[in-house]
Amino acid sequence: MPLRILMLDQVIFYFFAAIAVVSAILTVTRRNVVHSAIFLITALLATAGIFLQLRAEFLFIVQIILYVGGIMVLFVFVIMLVNLDVAVRQLQFARQKWVAMLISLALAAQVGLMLWSTGKMPGQGMPVLVAAPVDKLPPNSEAVARSLFETYLLPFEIASVLLLVAMIGAVVMAKKRA
Amino acid sequence: MLPIGHYLFLGLALFIIGVIGVVTRRNVIVVLMSIELILNAVNINLVAFSRLYGDVAGQVFALFIIADAAAEAAVGLGIIIAFFRNRETVLADEMDFLKW
Amino acid sequence: MQGLTQATLEFVKQYWAPLVCGLAIVAVLPLIVGYVVLVERKLMADMQARLGPMRVGPHGLLQPIADAVKLLIKEDIIPDDADKLVFWLAPVLSVGAALLAMAGLAIGPAFQIAKDINIGILFVVGVSALGIFGIVLGGWASNSHYSLMGALRSSAQLVSYETAAGMALVCGLLFAGTLNITSIVQAQHEQGMWFGLLAPVAFFVYLVASIAETNRAPFDLPEAESELVAGYMTEFSGFRWSLYFLAEYTNMIVVASVATTLFLGGWLRPFPRTHWLDFIDFLPPLLLVAIGVYCLMRTPKQPARVQQLFMLAVAGLCFTVAVVLAAPVLLRTPFVNPSLASAAKPFYEGIHGGFWFIFKVSAYLYFFMWLRFTIPRYRFDQLMRLGWHFLIPLSIINVLLIGIAMIAGSYLHLEGGWLLLATIPASIIALIVALFILAMEQKSERQQAGGATPDPYA
């Protein structure tokens, strides 16, 4: 593979990974909920960048249209509806924060150790599988569409029923009592 | 593509940050946003493995997860709005009306 | 370190053309947008029986530059309790999304910044939808009730019409079979007919939805001058306001380009494969010759010498462009050596393609401006009803029926012009069904509430 593609892959991955992790940390620590939402938007855009780096172009654009352009708009709307100035000055973190963080970090250490020792890690050699080179990949949208409508047609239809149910549920929950 | 470990560690980092957000914050909207972070971490894992094995099923599964996250966010935010209309609060500590 | 420099050099060698094109677009687009605004003001004046800006430069042609300078030297006012980070970020998001969407467009078969994106059209549509955040966050950051309400209304409108626009695009994509922009135009070349003719209802829905998407009249309630001050743009002054303005007009150009690519044949001339209509190829140079001759005829009537020279310069420019346009076409006529004709083909496609694309985008924008000066604006609840109760059912039913028409067409082996036999009845039925649904709903509403005031937040 040409050197520029290798280096480009690495540069893009580290760039988007750094943005994703930093934005995620800022999301869960900001006092102002709107700032949290903005940082979640950047985290989602960085995740979309990772998808693009993995040559999953359809998922990249679906992430942008659905997650950032749909779900986050919904979040921002609701934040503006329930924005309380009082809430900004109160405690942001629950009483159990230290214990909770300790347990989460213990979980992180466990999974990290497991990932580190399976041998598929950078620097530990033994790559059992090698990803297909880039030019041999089929066009992504066609492959996803084929798989979605041939192999996974039933989950697709169930997902549409799920979305219909969620739509009705959200409308009912948020409707004002007449 | 980079060695798979890079993507798995990135997914782990986002997952743990999301989990910390869920169990630590009081504001339920931030809790919902942290759940979205968790789902995104899972998506990164799925797409990385899909690229490694050359099977597009991982991306299709990630697509379903995104659709599911949309549905869940919509219903969750509807519940928050309904609750806010009744009790004027969005802090999880104060939503304790089912306690004895 | 050695590998890094080598990789950077390789990167620049491979991708220098898109980088330069991207920089050129970002640098030149504000100027183009300025002149689009001037054209709009002149058109507005013409439809209102007056002259428009005439003072700055000949016939007001330097007006955009004066406007730009004024906006740049204005004082930058930030409201008192505004959130400074978000106040700074909001116009940047709007402009960034609009400019990024320009990167996926193709003006001719060879003029594309990001070549051969697998998801071409979807990329443009999806990224331009990120502009909603610029509006919502701008309205919130202004710390003013009117701004927030204007922002929420504007973004609700954008989100509502995005669904209808997307379904209309799906209908056009049913014919194309691919999301790649070059392949879509090639599919139209193979059908021999623009998709807007094959699916007129989808084109109509996309037309209306795109007007609403860009907050143009008659859907400009959130930002009209007589309502809600200026909506979400109220507290932004000087350069920040000009960024929002740039974003709005860039969005107009992006939306016009998407409609042109999918429905109006992109860079193809009308009926690209019917050879007895080849004389249409001569129309672009003839049009420019006509404009040049008109300028020449108006030259003696100008009062001052400098204005006469200016008219002569414009006429000369028109004639030059006409010669540039005519050359590839003349070389393709049967009177010339065939090898020369095949060498001229890429020039023909590039130059004439560029001309037709810009012509169609300009026609679309002219239609936008024409509507702005002609139709009164919609009230917000009327706007939402139009989006949800008419356009979305219409576009969904249209997709269904056009799908059925295409299956019928492939069974009966209809192609090109004959496919019209299947799709036009489908479109008409879809229109009738959607109007019927709307009529039934209005009847039931009239029976229900006898005179309740409409809910402005509905």
Tokens of A114: 């497991």
Rg (CA), chain C: 24
Query: Between A120 and B18, whose confidence is greater?
Result: B18
Q: Which of residues 132-161 of C touch A (CB under 8 A)?
A: 132-133, 136-137, 140, 148, 152, 155, 159
Confidence of residue C455 (pLDDT cuts 50, 70, 90): low
Burial A78-91 (b: 16+ CB within 10 A, else e): bbbebbeeebeeee
CB contact under 8 A, A54 and B18: no
- Whether A131 contacts B58, CB under 8 Å: no
Span C268-295, average pLDDT: 85
Out of A54, A58, A71, name the one closest to residue B70 (CB). A71
Provide mean pLDDT across the span A145-170: 94
Please give the residue range of the domain that contains residue C345. Answer: 275-350
Amino acid at A105: L
Do C253 and C336 lie in one domain? The reply is no
C82 in the same domain as C56: no
Residue C258 in domain: yes
Interface of A with B in 1-60 (CB under 8 A): 9-10, 13, 17, 20-21, 24-25, 27-28, 33, 36-37, 40, 43-44, 47, 50-51, 54-56, 58-59
- R_g (Cα) of chain A, nearest Å: 21
CB atoms within 10 A of CB C333: 11
Q: State the chains in contact with B (3 or more Cβ–Cβ pairs under 8 Å).
A: A
Nearest to C139 by CA among A23, B80, A36, A76: A76
pLDDT at A163: 95
Average pLDDT over residues C208-235: 79
Give the one of C10, C83, C130 whose C-beta lies nearest to A2's C-beta. Answer: C10
Which ranges in C299-419 belong to alpha helices (H)?
Answer: 305-332, 338-347, 353-374, 380-385, 392-411
What the block records as the tokens of C299 is 């030259």
> Rounded CA gap, A112 and C285, in Å?
68
pLDDT band at C61 (very low <50, low <70, confident <90, very high): confident
Which has the minimum average pLDDT: C33-47, C338-352, C406-420?
C338-352
Partner-chain contact A69 C129, CB within 8 Å:
yes
Distance, CA of C7 to chain centre:
38
Q: Are residues A13 and A71 in the same domain?
A: yes
Chain B residues in contact with A139 by the CB 8 A cut-off are none
Band (pLDDT 50/70/90 cuts) for residue B54 is confident
Do C319 and C220 share a structural domain? no
What confidence tens digit (pLDDT) does each residue in C180-200 have? Answer: 999 999 999 888 888 998 899
Structure confidence by residue, pLDDT tens digits, C112-162? 887 778 898 999 999 999 999 999 998 888 888 778 888 888 888 999 999
Domain range for residue A21?
Answer: 1-90
- Asked if residue A41 belongs to a domain, the reply is yes
Helix (H) or strand (E) holding A152: none
pLDDT tens profile C400-427: 999 999 898 888 887 777 888 888 888 8
Would C340 be classed as within a structural domain?
yes
Range with the lowest mean pLDDT among A82-86, C354-358, C367-371?
Answer: A82-86
Looking at the structure of chain A, the number of domains it has is: 2
Would the pLDDT of A31 be above 60?
Answer: yes
Nearest CB neighbour to C119, from listed A7, A41, A57? A57
The sign of the CA dihedral A11, A15, A20, A21 is positive
Mean per-residue pLDDT, C219-230? 69
ipTM of the complex: 0.93
Q: How many other CB atoms are there within 10 angstroms of residue C85's CB atom?
A: 14
In a domain, A29, yes or no: yes
pLDDT for C324: 85
Answer whether C126 sits within 8 Å of A69, measured CB to CB.
Answer: yes
Say which residues have a Cβ less than 8 Å from residue C168's Cβ, sequence separation at least 6. C202, C203, C205, C206, C209, C395, C398
Nearest CA in chain C to A7: C7
Q: How far apart are CA C258 and CA C252, in angstroms?
A: 10
Q: Which of A34, A65, A72 sits opposite C86 (nearest CB)?
A: A34
Instruction: Name C112's bridge partners.
Output: C106
From A34, which residue of chain B is nearest by alpha-carbon distance? B30
pLDDT of residue C419: 82
The model carries a pTM of 0.90
Are C100 and C127 in contact, with CB atoms under 8 Å apart? yes
Predicted local distance difference test score (pLDDT) of residue C43 = 93
- A3 and C136: CB-CB below 8 Å? no
Lookup: tokens for C167: 């379904």
The reply to whether C427 falls in a domain is yes
Most confident of A80-84, C23-27, C253-257: C253-257
Q: Are C295 and C227 found together in one domain?
A: no
Interface of A with C (CB under 8 A): 2-4, 6-8, 32, 34-35, 38, 41, 57-58, 60-61, 64-65, 68-69, 72-73, 76-77, 80, 139-142
DSSP C106: B
Between B24 and B94, the higher pLDDT residue: B24
pLDDT at C1 over 70: no
Q: Are residues C308 and C325 in the same domain?
A: yes
CB of C83 within 8 Å of any CB in chain A?
yes
pLDDT band at A126 (very low <50, low <70, confident <90, very high): very low
Residue among C374, C452, C277, C138 nearest A178 (CA)? C452
- Alpha-carbon distance of C141 to C84, in angstroms, equals 8
Contacts of B57 in chain A (CB under 8 A): 147, 151-152
What's the structural domain count of chain C?
A: 3
From CA C66, how far away is CA C61, in angstroms rounded?
Answer: 10
Of A59, A66, A82, the CB nearest to B80: A82
Tokens matching residue C221: 């309630």
Partners of residue B27 on adjacent β-strands: B91
Euclidean distance between CA atoms B4 and A110, whole angstroms: 18
Q: How far is Cα A77 from Cα A55, in angstroms, rounded to an integer?
A: 32
Looking at the fold, whether A81 and A23 belong to one and the same domain comes out as yes
Q: What is the 3-state secondary structure (H, E, C) of A12-72?
A: HHHHHHHHHHHHHHHHHHCCCHHHHHHHHHHHHHHHHHHHHHCCCHHHHHHHHHHHHHHHH
Beta bridge mates, A93: B25
CB pairs under 8 A between A and B: 235
Q: Where is average pLDDT lowest: A17-21, C36-40, C278-282?
A: C278-282
How far away is chain C from the Cα of A58, in angstroms, using its nearest Cα? 7
Gyration radius of chain B's alpha carbons = 17
From the list C4, C125, C132, the residue facing A7 with the nearest CB is C4
Position A95 in a domain = no
Closest-CA residue of chain A to C180:
A141
C388 touches chain A (CB under 8 A): no
Structure tokens at C344: 């001229």
| Residue C296 pLDDT > 70 | yes
Do A169 and B75 make contact, defined as CB atoms within 8 angstroms?
yes
DSSP letter for C220, please.
-
For residue A79, tell me if it sits in a domain. Answer: yes
Q: Are B67 and B33 in contact (CB under 8 A)?
A: no
The encoded tokens of residue C211 equal 């007007």
In a domain, A61, yes or no: yes
Q: Which residues from B are below 8 Å from A41, CB to CB?
A: none
Peptide bond into B3 cis (omega under 30): no
Confidence at residue A125, expressed as pLDDT on a 0 to 100 scale: 46
Q: C163 with C393: CB under 8 angstroms? A: no
CA distance A155 to C284: 52
Q: What percent of chain C is modeled with pLDDT above 70?
A: 95
Per-residue tokens: C277: 């209509």
Quick one: average pLDDT of C274-303?
A: 85
C48's CB contacts (< 8 A; 6+ apart) are C373
| pLDDT score recorded for residue C443 | 87
pLDDT at res. C192:
83
Residue C74's SS3 state is coil
Query: Would you say residue A106 lies in a domain?
Result: no
Q: Give residue-wise pLDDT tens across range A3-25.
A: 667 778 888 999 999 999 999 99
Chain B touched by A167 (CB under 8 Å): yes
C388 in any annotated domain: yes
Q: Give the model's pLDDT for residue C347.
A: 75
Q: Indicate if C193 and C335 belong to the same structural domain.
A: no
The chain C residue lying nearest A70, using CA atoms, is C159
What's the gap in Å between the CA of A129 and the closest CA on chain B?
7
Contact (CB, 8 A) for C43 and C373:
yes
Please tell me whether residues C105 and C147 are part of one structural domain: yes
Residue A116 placed within a domain: no
Q: Domains, chain B, ranges and CATH?
A: 4-90 (1.10.287.3510)
Distance CA C376, CA C338 (A): 56
C-beta atoms surrounding C191 within 10 Å:
20
Q: Which range has the worst mean pLDDT, A82-91, A139-148, C215-224, C442-451?
A: A82-91
Sign of the torsion angle spanned by Cα atoms C98, C374, C70, C310: positive
Reading the block at residue B50, the tokens are 């899909």
- Judge whether C147 and C236 are in contact, CB under 8 Å: no
Q: Measure the CA angle with vertex C116, ends C115 and C118; round to 5°.
A: 140
Closest-CA residue to B28 (of B98, B94, B99, B100): B94
Alpha helix stretches (DSSP H) within C177-217 = 181-191, 195-198, 200-213
| Residues C160, C148 within the same domain | yes
Confidence of residue A122 (pLDDT cuts 50, 70, 90): low
Q: Does residue C342 have a pLDDT over 80?
A: no
Selection from C151, C383, C104 nearest residue C253 by Cα: C104
- Of C53, C73, C93, which residue constitutes the final position of a domain? C73
Which chains reach chain A with 3 or more Cβ–Cβ distances below 8 angstroms? B, C
